[in-house]
């Protein structure tokens, strides 16, 4: 660490507790190393084991996953509930390893089954860009390379900044290998400008609707039989640009194998009022709810 408060020139100081966190730089760097340099059997077999260990160590996140699974599908018995929590961590670790393996000898685009592909084709035919409403699910990043490869769209993922900038860079570099851009947006309204420019240039922007960071505007919805919220950002972006919104959610069904569920797209008027925005938010919430109930352990609700 240098005297000016930086770990290295231009790199802000990050507490060691953050760097050692499960989503921090040191674990992310280790995962990147193992995913790119480990033998094929290790790359394939180790992530579920590592995920199970992380489940045992991360008590707060383990409890959060248990609560969210119960919200989504109810209790299915003590043993089944426990196994589902462990399976969620194991699936997350497997997906992370497959993402971080980009650019290595193990890197191949995943085998993907697309259900509802014509919804994407129809939406792209409008030529106004595409707003992808997705969630923190298994392999949701697989949709980006798929759209980029098969439809010729430039894909940008919008997400909140991670606490550890170094960990964020490691993952962003892996995504960039497959041609996926990343925009880190927070409470600053100007952070959305790159998303607007990308959409107006005919690109696709993917935003996650299952988390609402502090300070962002939301719409009230019903989800899993209880009140919930959906971030307003995807709806406003679509209304401003005329880009259709299409819900896309992914599940992992095997090693580098995913199924992508695509729902019908819709378009919002530029002057969409509260009633239209509320209906659109509920439509997205219903699509996510249906997917999560079908694939509960593919939903990475760690908060």
Distance CA 206, CA 212 (A): 15
Say what percent of the chain tops pLDDT 90: 47
Q: What is the pLDDT of residues 49-64, one digit of tens each?
A: 999 999 999 999 999 9
Range of the domain at 263: 111-296
Q: Compute the distance between CA of residue 39 and CA of residue 103 in angstroms, rounded to an integer.
A: 15
86-113 per-position pLDDT tens digit: 999 999 999 888 888 877 777 777 788 8
Domain presence at residue 289:
yes
Number of domains into which the chain is organized: 2
Across all residues in the chain, what is the average pLDDT?
Answer: 84
Residues 95 and 195 grouped into a single domain: no
Residues 150 and 93 in one domain: no
Measured in whole angstroms, the distance separating CA 127 from the mean position of its chain's CA atoms is 25
Together in a domain, 52 and 75:
yes
Whether residue 138 sits in one domain with residue 23 = no
DSSP string across 23-36: TSHHHHHHHHHHHH
Asked whether residue 21 falls in the same domain as residue 161, the answer is no
Is pLDDT at 231 greater than 80 in this prediction?
yes
Higher pLDDT, 231 or 146: 231
Residues 259 and 183 in one domain: yes
- Name which residue leads in pLDDT, 114 or 209: 209
Q: Is residue 1 included in any domain, yes or no?
A: no
Same domain as 248, residue 206: yes
């Amino acid at each position: 660490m240098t005297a000016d408060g930086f770990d290295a020139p231009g790199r802000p100081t990050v507490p060691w507790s953050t760097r050692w966190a499960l989503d921090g730089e040191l674990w992310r760097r280790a995962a990147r190393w193992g995913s790119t340099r480990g033998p094929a059997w290790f790359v394939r077999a180790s992530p579920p084991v590592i995920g199970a260990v992380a489940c045992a160590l991360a008590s707060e996140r383990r409890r959060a996953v248990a609560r969210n699974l119960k919200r989504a599908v109810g209790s299915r018995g003590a043993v089944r509930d426990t196994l589902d929590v462990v399976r969620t961590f194991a699936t997350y670790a497997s997906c992370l390893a497959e993402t971080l393996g980009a650019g290595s000898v193990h890197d191949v685009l995943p085998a993907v089954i697309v259900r509802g592909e014509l919804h994407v084709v129809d939406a792209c035919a409008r030529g106004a860009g595409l707003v992808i409403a997705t969630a923190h699910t298994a392999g949701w990043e697989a949709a980006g390379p798929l759209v980029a490869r098969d439809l010729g769209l430039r894909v940008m993922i919008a997400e909140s900044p991670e606490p550890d900038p170094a960990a964020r860079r490691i993952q962003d570099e892996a995504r960039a290998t497959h041609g996926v851009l990343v925009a880190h947006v927070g409470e600053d309204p100007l952070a959305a400008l790159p998303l607007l420019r990308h959409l107006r240039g005919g690109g696709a922007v993917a935003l996650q609707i299952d988390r609402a960071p502090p300070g962002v505007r939301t719409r009230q919805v019903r989800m899993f039989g209880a009140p919930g919220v959906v971030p307003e950002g995807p709806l406003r972006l679509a209304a401003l640009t005329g880009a259709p919104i299409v819900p896309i959610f992914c599940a992992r069904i095997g090693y580098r194998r995913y199924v992508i569920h695509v729902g019908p797209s819709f378009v919002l008027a530029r002057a969409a009022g509260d009633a239209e925005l509320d209906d659109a938010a509920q439509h997205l919430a219903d699509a996510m709810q249906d997917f999560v109930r079908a694939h509960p352990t593919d939903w990475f609700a760690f908060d």
